[in-house]
Amino acid sequence: MQDPILLTPGPLTTSLATRMAMLNDWGSWDEAFNTLTASVRRDLVDIVDGVDTHVCVPLQGSGAFAVEAALGTLIPDHGRVLVADNGAYCKRIVRILERLGREVVVLAHAEDAPADPARIDAALAADPRITHVAQVHCETGAGVLNPLSDIAAVVAARGRRLIVDAMSSFGALPIDARSLPFDALVAASGKCLEGPPGMGFVIARRDVLEAAGGHSRSLALDLHDQWTYMEATGQWRFTPPTHVVAALRSALDQYLAQGGRPARLARYSANCAALVDGMTALGFRPFVEHGVQAPIIVTFLAPADPAYDFKTMYRRVRDMGFVLYPGKLTTVDSFRVGCMGDIDPAIIGRAVAAIRDSLTAMGVRRFAPD
């Protein structure tokens, strides 16, 4: 039986070659695995052209583990963090900071609006105690692409530090460490690189990480300790996700052979265009305006037809070979369809047809939200 296509923000549909790479077992302290880890770390830094200034620290667990590790290690106890909140993953950063005991300043935005660099600048000017800005690049709660370059310029001009959650943008959207100032960027194996989930990583400025010893109140999530141990031994401190690392190595090889970041962005953009065009032709309306829509995942407003029910649609669409994702909006009923993974516009077209046929079978006649 063929696995369904995952049209979600992660895990994603991976290639056969990536899945095949998980068939071998690896010794966690073996020289061959240490070499594999080192090659993955090097290539991840290369993707953002940070080889001269930044280092990559991988971490066991999901992307949220790596986000918490970065925040807990790189922000000292006296740090005060500004978060421009326009969605679910911004709110998660706020929750992490609160649990860590770091002071947080929340700059609320609408869920369909990008973070405003001018408002961030004004907040930094008004509060000199703010030491850091934690910024989500692509807020997949709604699919909004935040203007990272403009925000980074504002933060740098005010002399503050920037930590970027690039979970759903790294590897596809342009980020260049030579021109975009950031202390750390956080991403994971199971997103735009199209590896399996299970390994987060932080690309941090070497000098900032060197100065962060003793900040973390967690042993497992101490990014500085993880880095210094890896630098000294080539090994992970604790049992690594060996199969995930091996599969990510294969996914990176494919990524580079396919043309790297520009090619990945081009395919995802084509997927997004096919999705939006197909769904709007049926009567659906995207929640986010075209100009701020990231080519990663699209939120669609739910049909107003009384016959519509997301769980029923989900089951029917899954039976036809596609997995959708529920909405994360706090104000309106919605669902999400991803553009990432080992998929192309032809697959997107089949998914749109599956949504249409499933809803028609449910008796939904009007796909518009009003």
Residue the block writes with tokens 């940070």: 50
- Does residue 109 form part of some domain? yes
Asked if the model's pLDDT at residue 200 lies above 80, the reply is: yes
Look up the CATH number of the domain holding residue 304: 3.90.1150.10
| 370 domain residue, yes or no | no
Residue 2 domain-assigned (yes or no): no
130 lies in the same domain as 241: yes
Q: What is the tens place of the pLDDT at every residue in 11-43?
A: 999 999 999 999 999 999 999 999 999 999 999
Report which of 258, 232, 230 is spatially closest to residue 245, judged by C-alpha positions.
230
Residue pair 140/168 in contact (Cβ under 8 Å)? The answer is yes
Do both 79 and 198 map to the same domain?
Answer: yes
H-helix or E-strand spanning residue 304: none
pLDDT band, very low/low/confident/very high, at 311 (cuts 50, 70, 90): very high
Same domain, 142 and 278: no
What is the CATH number for 87? 3.40.640.10
Q: pTM for the full model?
A: 0.96
Residue 306, domain extent: 260-362
Can you say whether residue 178 is alpha, beta or left, with left for phi > 0 and alpha for psi between -120 and 50 degrees?
alpha
Of 150, 112, 95, 105, nearest to 129 by C-alpha is 105
Hey, what amino acid is at 264?
R
The answer to whether 356 and 27 are in contact (CB under 8 A) is: no
Quick check: 108 and 80 in contact, CB under 8 A?
Answer: no
Q: What is the pLDDT of residue 2?
A: 82
Provide the 8-state DSSP code for 23.
G
Same domain membership, residue 67 and residue 32 = yes
CA-based nearest residue to 155, from 138, 185, 135: 135
Residue pair 5/349 in contact by the 8 Å Cβ criterion? no
Please write the tens of the pLDDT for every residue from 62-84.
999 999 999 999 999 999 999 99
Q: Residue 8 falls within a domain, yes or no? A: no
Task: State the pLDDT at residue 101.
Answer: 96
Residue from 122, 115, 126 nearest 85 by CA: 115
Which pLDDT belongs to residue 149?
A: 98
- Separation of CA 188 from chain center: 7
Which residues make beta-bridge pairs with 84? 107
What would the pLDDT profile of 91-128 be if each residue is shown by its tens digit?
Answer: 999 999 999 999 999 999 999 999 999 999 999 999 99
Q: Tell me how far apart the alpha carbons of residues 194 and 204 are, in angstroms, rounded to a whole number.
A: 22
Same domain, 213 and 246: yes
With respect to residue 5, please indicate whether it lies within any of the assigned structural domains. no
pLDDT at 330 over 80: no
Find how far residue 157's CA is from the centre of its chain.
26
User: Do 239 and 275 have their domain in common?
Assistant: no
Number of domains in the chain: 2
Q: Which residues of 140-156 are buried (b: 16+ CB within 10 A; e: fewer)?
A: bbbbbbbbbebbbbbbe
Q: Report residue 36 as tokens.
A: 């594999």
Same domain, 218 and 357: no
Q: With contact defined as beta carbons under 8 Å apart, do 268 and 192 qualify?
A: yes
Strands 80-85 and 132-136: parallel
Same domain? For 95 and 144 the reply is yes
Which DSSP category does 241 fall into? Answer: -
Of 225, 257, 289, the residue that ends a domain is 257
> Both 101 and 228 in a single domain?
yes
pLDDT digit string, tens, across residues 261-270: 999 999 999 9
What is the DSSP code (8-state) at residue 48? T
pLDDT for position 1:
61
| Domain boundary residue, one of 257, 291, 321 | 257
Asked whether residue 218 falls in the same domain as residue 85, the answer is yes
Say yes or no: 93 and 149 in one domain.
yes
The verdict on 320 and 279 lying in the same domain is yes
Would residue 226 count as lying in a domain? yes
Gyration radius (Cα) of the chain, Å: 21
CA–CA separation, 113 and 289 (whole Å): 9
Residue pair 287/143 in contact by the 8 Å Cβ criterion: yes
Mean pLDDT for 311-328 is 95
User: Where a domain ends, among 240, 257, 274?
Assistant: 257
Across 351-369, average pLDDT: 97
| Nearest CA among 200, 222, 204, 201 for reference residue 213 | 222
Asked whether residue 4 is domain-assigned, the answer is no
3 falls within a domain: no
Measuring CA to CA, which residue among 182, 193, 327 is closest to residue 260?
193
